[in-house]
């Protein structure tokens, strides 16, 4: 039975139907960074949680990506209690530099602009997810099923009944016991949370439509070793073909996220290493000196997506299952982390008040909070890409005039920086702990 056969049936149980207890209060499908953040945020909630992940934990950690992590995301991790495990292994930005192709004007965002110690962070996927997994090992209310797959989900008035197939030998953290391969579990949960990515099967099976479009661009991602020290500076350089982000990593390494039209991005990935690095040196303006590849290159298409709904009775979407944005500005992962913190807060408050955490009235509080804020980020990143990814002369003149004026219009500069760092909008309580 495939996951496409998942069905959503919300029906009133017959009075004669026997009352069955709940295995868990919350089932999170997807044990990546966003799903694990939600589970970690619920550590002291009094709610029982199971994380259902399709990969072995070690395989999930091995993804060769790094992310720009905002100030707000750092504060959320600090509120959870996991930040001390993360911070020593990531880079704090001493500055963010914004520039337009080979135009001489550069906008610099500094910690002094916000009165903070940094303007952001760069963290590798393995660092974030390893820290979260280790943290959750000590959470008695959180269990893991992995590798495992939800094959059916039946939505009742008071619960979601899941059929979960476990693939291979797994360890269920709560019981510290091993389960044999290919066993099927029946799980009854008050709330199902989809954290299973942009192609979320849980979302699709529930019939939730999405709006948006695929961009004309793809991203080539690679880790490099520069000749010169990166001095913890993050770069966002716009070219007519698309933006290029350079994130400083520990060990004087950098991750490059190079956006270009699909055919050009494919050609960049297939270039010989020396040719690719020569082109990269040209596009970074020699700021980092000669470059050396420190990883394979991989490519992914870019899309903008917003789910028509983030919630249904007994169901909530978070992270890429709910929305996707252009990678310019490094906002995607941070949106998902804020989703997780916001949903955890809504569920905790409802639980403390004795409310049903799967009730649509409760879940709408989360949707009303996050959908509006995410839409603002989707619009901001789309505007940046369309504004800068072209060579139309009138627009070129306007944007370069804007870049030259931005350092002198301090309120606007601070507003842009607050938007990029997550300090606009309504922060979750975790961020103020």
- Which of the listed CATH numbers 3.50.50.60, 3.40.50.300, 3.10.20.740, 3.30.450.40 matches domain 3-63+128-210+304-391? 3.50.50.60
> What's the rounded mean pLDDT across residues 276-290?
92
Q: What tens digit of pLDDT does each residue of 175-184 get? A: 334 444 678 8
| Cα gap 31→324, rounded to integer Å | 18
Q: First and final CA of the chain: distance in angstroms?
A: 45
pLDDT band at 186 (very low <50, low <70, confident <90, very high): very high
* Residue 4 burial class via C-beta count within 10 angstroms: exposed 0-12, middle 13-18, buried 19 and up: exposed
DSSP states of 165-228 as a string? EE-S-EEETTTTEEE-TTEEEEEEEEEEEE-S-TT-HHHHHTT--EEEEEEEEEEEEEEEEESS
Q: What tens digit of pLDDT does each residue of 50-74 get? A: 999 999 888 888 888 999 999 999 9
Of residues 69 and 10, more confidence is placed in: 69
**Of the candidates 151, 60, 149, 101, the residue with the CA atom closest to the CA atom of residue 285:** 101
pLDDT at 353: 97
User: Taking a C-beta distance cutoff of 8 angstroms, is the pair 126, 33 a contact?
Assistant: no
Percent of the chain at pLDDT > 90 equals 79
Q: Read off the pTM.
A: 0.91
User: Taking a C-beta distance cutoff of 8 angstroms, is the pair 154, 7 a contact?
Assistant: yes
Extract the tokens encoding 405: 């004026």
Domains of the chain by residue range: 3-63+128-210+304-391
pLDDT at 245 over 50: yes
Which residues pair with residue 124 across a beta bridge? 66
* Residue 119 burial class via C-beta count within 10 angstroms: exposed 0-12, middle 13-18, buried 19 and up: buried
Listed in sequence order, the residues at least 6 apart from 76 whose beta carbon sits closer than 8 Å to its beta carbon are 37, 41, 337, 338, 340, 341, 428, 430, 431
């Amino acid at each position: 039975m495939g996951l496409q056969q998942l069905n959503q049936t919300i029906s009133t149980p017959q009075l004669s139907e026997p009352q069955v207890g709940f295995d868990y209060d919350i089932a999170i499908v997807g044990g990546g960074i966003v799903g694990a953040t939600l589970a970690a945020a619920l550590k002291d909630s009094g709610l029982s949680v199971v994380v259902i992940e399709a990969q072995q934990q070690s395989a999930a950690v091995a993804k060769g990506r790094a992310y720009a992590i905002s100030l707000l995301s750092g504060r959320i991790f600090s509120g959870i209690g996991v930040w001390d495990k993360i911070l020593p292994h990531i880079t704090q930005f001493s500055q963010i530099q914004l520039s337009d192709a080979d135009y001489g004007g550069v906008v610099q965002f500094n910690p002094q602009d916000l009165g903070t110690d940094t303007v952001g962070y760069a963290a590798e996927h393995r660092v974030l997810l390893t820290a979260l997994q280790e943290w959750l090992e000590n959470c008695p209310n959180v269990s893991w099923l992995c590798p495992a797959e939800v094959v059916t989900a039946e939505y009742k008035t008071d619960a979601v009944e899941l059929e979960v197939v476990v693939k291979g030998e797994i360890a269920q953290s709560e019981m510290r016991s091993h389960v044999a391969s290919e066993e099927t579990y029946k799980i009854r949960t008050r709330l199902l949370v989809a954290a299973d990515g942009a192609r979320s099967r849980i979302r699709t099976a529930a019939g939730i439509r999405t709006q948006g479009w695929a961009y004309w661009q793809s991203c080539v991602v690679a880790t490099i070793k520069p000749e010169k020290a990166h001095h913890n500076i993050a770069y966002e350089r716009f070219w007519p073909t698309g933006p290029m982000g350079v994130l400083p990593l520990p060990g004087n390494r950098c991750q490059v996220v190079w956006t270009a039209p699909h055919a050009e991005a494919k050609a960049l990935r297939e270039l010989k290493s020396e040719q690719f690095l020569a082109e990269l040196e040209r596009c970074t303006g020699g700021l980092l000196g000669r470059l050396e590849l420190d990883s394979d290159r991989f490519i992914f298409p870019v899309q903008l997506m917003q789910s028509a709904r983030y919630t249904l009775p007994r169901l909530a979407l978070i992270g890429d299952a709910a929305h996707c944005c252009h990678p310019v500005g490094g906002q995607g992962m941070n949106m998902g982390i804020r989703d997780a913190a916001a949903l955890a807060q809504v569920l905790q408050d409802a639980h403390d008040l004795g409310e049903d955490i799967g009730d649509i009235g409760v879940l709408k509080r989360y949707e009303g909070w996050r959908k509006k804020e995410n839409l603002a980020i989707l619009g901001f990143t789309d505007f940046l890409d369309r504004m800068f990814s072209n060579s139309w002369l009138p627009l070129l003149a306007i944007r370069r005039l804007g870049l030259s004026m931005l350092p002198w219009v301090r309120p606007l500069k601070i507003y842009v920086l607050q938007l990029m760092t997550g300090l606009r909008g309504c922060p979750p309580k975790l961020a103020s702990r």
